[in-house]
């Protein structure tokens, strides 16, 4: 009972001393905190609560907090991590940091007043997770014509990171992951119907990552990122909205740079015959040994041009690249329709030209550019990847 309520009760019973003073109040420890809730990130919990219904007749001066992994023995006090005076002033909340990802924790609170510590509350359970495991808890991932990226981590066989995408018009969506984790990705409609899935994006440095691509109408879509075959570890998700067309000449060439992944298309959507050519511009400040790899479900030809448009190198079948693979650890990536260029160039401006091998070869492609690895770098890369 609160002090004001006690005085009113005493007055009603005629228990007030001369001068209106009440009989001496007995102070007790406070009751348990109420409305306890917890939210999570990959490695932290934020706990909020409200004051106890009964403060014991004295102001609450502090709150203690303790937490434990849900699977641990909670009957032994020594197993709990205790945070004394987790709160002494301000908003009733506390953040617990440096926790394990994808792990369930139990949290308890107790109030403290001048009489001592109140009882511990019942446990509030919350698991840490970097992203939601369902469509309803998916993290929004905003996409544009340029590549957007977000880092994530799969920490258990059952862990899945869900992301949502909102398209306001018909667009071609491209999603892929990079990193050493073997990932599996799927593109879903708003009701969970699968649009497409993949666990082998054929990226040069990490071909075990997924790549999904689809032309979609306006609406909300989802992708769950998972470890393939129960694999766990860190990954990075990338996404972009592929343009229907890019520059078709040297003056209108789209800008490119090493490390970039580009999604393009020969011919506009629906074309079955096209003389389309896509141009990309690369600028180098110093002499550079670099490669360009393109993948496609149609046969495309790639050309490296100098600033005047002169042909320096042409590749029209990926598996015909021959010696270009000698410093690359993953063979032909099982892609005979794309191309690979490798060249050492002086400082200056260069262009990549992409066309269909025949006019009826139309469709999507994606391309990545990078600085070429030397043999000792490749051996190190292979060793680290295993």
CB 300, CB 315: distance < 8 Å: no
The answer to whether residues 122 and 139 belong to one domain is: no
Q: How many CB atoms lie within 10 A of CB 85?
A: 11
Give me the mean pLDDT over the 319-336 stretch: 46
Share of the chain above pLDDT 90, in %: 49
Whether 18 maps to a domain, the answer reads: no
The answer to whether residues 70 and 180 belong to one domain is: no
pTM: 0.66
The answer to whether residues 204 and 151 belong to one domain is: yes
Distances in whole angstroms, Cα of residue 240 to Cα of each of 143, 202, 381: 6, 18, 27
- Residue 187 pairs in a beta bridge with 196
The answer to whether residues 301 and 230 belong to one domain is: no
Q: Give the DSSP letter string of 123-136.
A: PEEEE--SS-SSGG
The answer to whether residues 264 and 197 belong to one domain is: no
The answer to whether residues 264 and 231 belong to one domain is: no
Instruction: Tell me which residue range forms the domain holding 280.
Output: 254-385
pLDDT tens column, 88-108:
999 999 999 999 877 899 999
* Residue 82 scores a pLDDT above 60: yes
* Distance in angstroms (rounded) separating the CA atoms of residues 259 and 203: 12
Q: What angle do CA 307, 308, 310 make, to 5 degrees?
A: 105
pLDDT tens column, 235-266:
999 998 888 888 899 999 999 999 888 888 88
The answer to whether residues 231 and 258 belong to one domain is: no
Whether 349 maps to a domain, the answer reads: yes
Whether 7 maps to a domain, the answer reads: no
Please tell me what DSSP assigns to residue 336. Answer: S
pLDDT tens column, 131-190:
888 898 898 998 876 678 998 888 778 888 999 999 999 999 999 998 889 999 999 999
Name the domain boundary from 186, 221, 242: 242
- Torsion sign, CA atoms 142, 148, 154, 157: positive
The answer to whether residues 293 and 194 belong to one domain is: no
The first and second tokens of residue 351, run together, are 């262009």
- For position 211, which CATH number holds? 2.60.120.380
Name the domain boundary from 102, 127, 152: 127
Mean pLDDT of the residues in the chain: 84
pLDDT tens column, 259-301:
888 888 888 766 766 788 999 999 999 999 999 988 887 888 9
- Band (pLDDT 50/70/90 cuts) for residue 336 is low
The answer to whether residues 323 and 263 belong to one domain is: yes
* Residue 18 scores a pLDDT above 60: no
Q: To which residue do tokens 């490669």 refer?
A: 291
Whether 360 maps to a domain, the answer reads: yes
CB 259, CB 349: distance < 8 Å: no
Q: Secondary structure of 204-265 in the HEC alphabet? A: CCCCCCCEEEEEECCEEEEEEEEEHHHCCEEEEEEEEEECCCCCCCCCCCEECCCCCEEEEE
The answer to whether residues 297 and 213 belong to one domain is: no
* Residue 7 scores a pLDDT above 90: no
* Distance in angstroms (rounded) separating the CA atoms of residues 222 and 161: 10
The first and second tokens of residue 370, run together, are 């990078």
Whether 21 maps to a domain, the answer reads: no
331 contact partners, CB below 8 Å, separation of at least 6: 325
The answer to whether residues 379 and 272 belong to one domain is: yes
Domain count, the chain: 3
Distances in whole angstroms, Cα of residue 297 to Cα of each of 232, 243, 319, 326, 365: 30, 17, 14, 24, 7
* Distance in angstroms (rounded) separating the CA atoms of residues 142 and 166: 8
The answer to whether residues 51 and 119 belong to one domain is: yes
Whether 114 maps to a domain, the answer reads: yes
- Residue 381 is predicted with a pLDDT of 40
């Amino acid at each position: 009972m609160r002090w004001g309520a006690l005085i009113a009760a005493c007055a009603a019973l005629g228990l007030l001393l001369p001068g209106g003073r009440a009989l001496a109040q007995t102070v007790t420890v406070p009751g348990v905190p109420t409305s306890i809730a917890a939210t999570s990130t990959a490695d932290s919990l934020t706990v909020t609560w409200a004051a106890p219904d009964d403060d014991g007749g004295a102001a609450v001066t502090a709150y203690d907090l303790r937490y434990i992994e849900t699977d641990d023995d909670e009957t032994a006090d020594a197993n709990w991590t205790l945070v004394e005076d987790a709160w002494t002033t301000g908003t009733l909340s506390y953040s617990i940091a440096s926790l394990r990802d994808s792990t369930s924790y139990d949290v308890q609170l107790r109030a403290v007043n001048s009489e001592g510590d109140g009882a511990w509350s019942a446990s509030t359970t919350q698991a840490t997770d970097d992203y939601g495991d369902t469509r309803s808890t998916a993290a929004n991932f905003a996409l544009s014509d340029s590549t957007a990226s977000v880092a994530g981590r799969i920490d258990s066989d059952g862990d899945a990171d869900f992301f949502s995408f909102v398209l306001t018009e018909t667009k071609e969506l491209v999603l892929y992951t990079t990193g050493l984790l073997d990932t599996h990705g799927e593109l879903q409609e708003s009701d969970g119907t699968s649009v497409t899935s993949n666990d082998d994006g054929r990226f040069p440095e990490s071909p075990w990552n997924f790549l999904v691509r689809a032309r979609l109408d306006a609406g909300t879509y989802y992708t769950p990122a998972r470890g393939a075959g129960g694999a766990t570890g860190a990954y990075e998700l990338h996404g972009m909205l592929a343009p229907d067309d890019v520059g078709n000449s040297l003056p209108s060439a789209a800008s490119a740079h090493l490390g970039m992944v580009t999604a393009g298309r020969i011919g506009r959507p629906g074309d079955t015959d096209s003389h389309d050519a896509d141009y990309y511009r690369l600028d180098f400040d110093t002499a550079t040994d670099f490669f360009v790899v393109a993948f496609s479900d149609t046969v495309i030809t790639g050309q490296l041009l100098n600033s005047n448009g002169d042909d320096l190198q042409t590749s029209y079948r990926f598996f015909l690249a021959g010696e270009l693979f000698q410093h690359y650890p993953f063979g032909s990536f099982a892609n005979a329709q794309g191309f690979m260029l490798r060249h050492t160039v002086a400082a200056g401006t260069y262009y990549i030209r992409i066309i269909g091998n025949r006019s009826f070869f139309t469709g999507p492609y994606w391309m990545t550019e990078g600085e070429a690895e030397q043999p000792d770098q490749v051996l190190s890369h292979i060793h680290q990847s295993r």
